[in-house]
Amino acid sequence: MLHVNENYAKIKPTYLFAEIAHRVSAHLEANPGAKVIRLGIGDVTEPLCPAVIEAMHKAVDDEAGRSNFHGYGPEQGYAFLREKIAKFDFQDRGIDIAADEILVSDGAKCDCGNIQELFGPDVKIAVGDPVYPVYVDTNVMAGRGDITLLSCTAENGFVPSPSDLPDEGQPDVVYLCYPNNPTGAVATKPQLQAWVDWANSRKALILFDAAYEAFIRTPGIPHSIYECDGARTCAIEFRSYSKTAGFTGVRCGYTVVPKGLCAYTADGTPVELRPMWTRRQTTKFNGASYITQRGAEAIYSPEGQAQTKATIDFYLGNAKLMREALQGLGYTVTGGADSPYLWVDVKGDSWAFFDRLLKEANIVTTPGAGFGRAGEGFIRISAFNSRENVIEAIERLKGVL
Ligand SMILES: Cc1ncc(COP(=O)(O)O)c(C=O)c1O
């Protein structure tokens, strides 16, 4: 008899966005023709920038001829892309990361989800609460149900600190995501440095999700965990081109695993994680496509950098308009300055507020409760939309709130 992985029964059966989609379709059925504005799911709305399109067209042409055709590529990613990443995302910012410490993938979700395969079944995990659900669900699927939740509240500026950890049973792995999804909060260098110092002192590991790094505009806010002293010996970092350059449909990202970063066997023998992650990826993944990686490379050209920055500035402009409007209506709002997300304190039940905005204003948001217990009382609003829709949404919000 086939025995099922019963851990799957322990994850929430419906994914948050499936429930939202269900409520939106019920609303549309009851109100045919309602012009719904979707500020819920965090998908981009602006097309790929011209530099990326041009590079991808050229890469398609490469594939059309025998001389430039590319079949299976290097599983860790093409050197042309890894070298650009090392230079532009790290070395030019004074960060010590080399091209062979970077593994290109088809996005941060897979990497954030798969990384836990490198750790023992009994490692203790901690995550922020509210949280991007992938960190929790992938650990629960693997049988790690005892997860420490670190409350992110207005009191701690939505950034937990190692002093929030229990004295007994401290975690071995902490997931940190800044700029944060869903709260839009950013972490300062001293806040991240405290986590790095804690992790090094305990031989623990930080999994740093920097998927929204490109939205940081405030000087001094770290773009990478490796800006902190000692992070090379205690942190893995995930990056994504999804929100940076509109690659949600194209699919590309990367993970940084520094040389010398270790986990330990039961008898305390260190085992390097970079060769393990390489082995995992080369066994279970065959690389992002050549065309995709040529597109990603183009993000680092002068034109690509200017064009992607302009698109992010546009989304940040949307965020600013909505933040100011909500603040004007008396709401306390986090995020939206260095992040595409606004985290709005609705001072009440988040699903009820979601339903109210849907019914009265035809606006879709994301109820904070869907991201964890500490998300109750908040809604997340995404700035990924057209300016026209954002302006219309603001008018509607002013009408109902
Ligand atoms: C915090 C966070 N990490 C990772 C991802 C996944 O990114 P990707 O599209 O690269 O898989 C997302 C996407 O929404 C995210 O919000």
pLDDT tens by residue, the chain, 401 residues: 999 999 999 987 667 888 999 999 999 999 999 999 999 988 999 999 999 999 999 999 999 999 999 999 998 999 999 999 999 999 999 999 999 999 999 999 999 999 999 999 999 999 999 999 999 999 999 999 889 999 999 999 999 999 999 888 899 999 999 999 999 999 999 999 999 999 999 999 999 999 999 999 999 999 999 999 999 999 999 999 999 999 999 999 999 999 999 999 999 999 999 999 999 999 999 999 999 999 999 999 999 999 999 999 999 999 999 999 999 999 999 999 999 999 999 999 999 999 999 999 999 999 999 999 999 999 999 999 999 999 999 999 999 99
Closest atom, ligand 1, to C-alpha of 252: 10
| Contact by Cβ (8 Å): 294, 363 | no
DSSP symbols for 110-133: HHHHHGGGGS-TT--EEEEES--H
Secondary structure (3-state) at 376: coil
What confidence score (pLDDT) does residue 14 get? 63
In which residue are the tokens 């035809």 written? Answer: 362
Nearest-5° Cα angle at 127, 125 to 130: 150
Instruction: Kindly report the protein residue whose alpha carbon is nearest to atom 3 of ligand 1.
Output: 211
| Residue ranges of the chain assigned to CATH 3.90.1150.10 | 6-47+306-400
Residues contacting 16, CB < 8 A, separation 6+: 133, 366, 370, 371
Closest atom, ligand 1, to C-alpha of 253: 10
| Contact by Cβ (8 Å): 209, 177 | yes
CA of 110 relative to ligand 1 center, distance in Å: 9
φ, ψ (nearest 5 deg) of residue 259: -60, 140
| Residue ranges of the chain assigned to CATH 3.40.640.10 | 51-302
Secondary structure (3-state) at 223: coil
Which residue intervals of 41-172 are DSSP H helices? 50-64, 79-84, 108-114, 133-141
| Contact by Cβ (8 Å): 321, 337 | no
CB atoms within 10 A of CB 52: 27
| Contact by Cβ (8 Å): 375, 129 | yes
Q: Please give the biggest Cα pair distance in the chain.
A: 65
Instruction: Kindly report the protein residue whose alpha carbon is nearest to atom 14 of ligand 1.
Output: 42
What does the alpha-carbon distance between residue 380 and residue 211 come to, in Å, rounded to a whole number?
Answer: 17
CA of 112 relative to ligand 1 center, distance in Å: 9
Closest atom, ligand 1, to C-alpha of 247: 9
Best of 240, 251, 285 for a ligand 1 pocket test (most atoms within 8 Å of beta carbon): 240
Burial class (CB in 10 A: 0-12, 13-18, 19+), 345: middle
What confidence score (pLDDT) does residue 15 get? 72
CA of 7 relative to ligand 1 center, distance in Å: 23
What does the alpha-carbon distance between residue 187 and residue 87 come to, in Å, rounded to a whole number?
Answer: 24
Q: Which fold has domain 6-47+306-400?
A: Aspartate Aminotransferase, domain 1 (3.90.1150)
What does the alpha-carbon distance between residue 52 and residue 42 come to, in Å, rounded to a whole number?
Answer: 21
In which residue are the tokens 């879709």 written? Answer: 364
Nearest Cα neighbor of 381 from 7, 146, 37, 28 is: 37
Side-chain half-sphere exposure of 127, counting CA atoms within 13 A: 25
What does the alpha-carbon distance between residue 19 and residue 339 come to, in Å, rounded to a whole number?
Answer: 25
What confidence score (pLDDT) does residue 145 get? 87
Q: Output the six-digit token pair for 267.
A: 């008898």
What is the reported pTM? 0.97
Q: Which fold has domain 51-302?
A: Aspartate Aminotransferase; domain 2 (3.40.640)
In which residue are the tokens 């970092």 written? Answer: 237
Q: Output the six-digit token pair for 382.
A: 């995404």
CA of 211 relative to ligand 1 center, distance in Å: 6
Closest atom, ligand 1, to C-alpha of 42: 14
In which residue are the tokens 């909060």 written? Answer: 185
Instruction: Kindly report the protein residue whose alpha carbon is nearest to atom 6 of ligand 1.
Output: 109
CA of 330 relative to ligand 1 center, distance in Å: 31
CA of 66 relative to ligand 1 center, distance in Å: 36
Closest atom, ligand 1, to C-alpha of 43: 14
| Contact by Cβ (8 Å): 289, 297 | no
| Contact by Cβ (8 Å): 128, 152 | yes
What confidence score (pLDDT) does residue 18 get? 87
Pocket, ligand 1, Cβ cutoff 6 A: 42, 107-109, 112, 132, 177, 181, 209, 211, 240, 242, 248, 253
For residue 17, the one-letter residue type is F
CA of 18 relative to ligand 1 center, distance in Å: 17
Q: Output the six-digit token pair for 360.
A: 């009265």
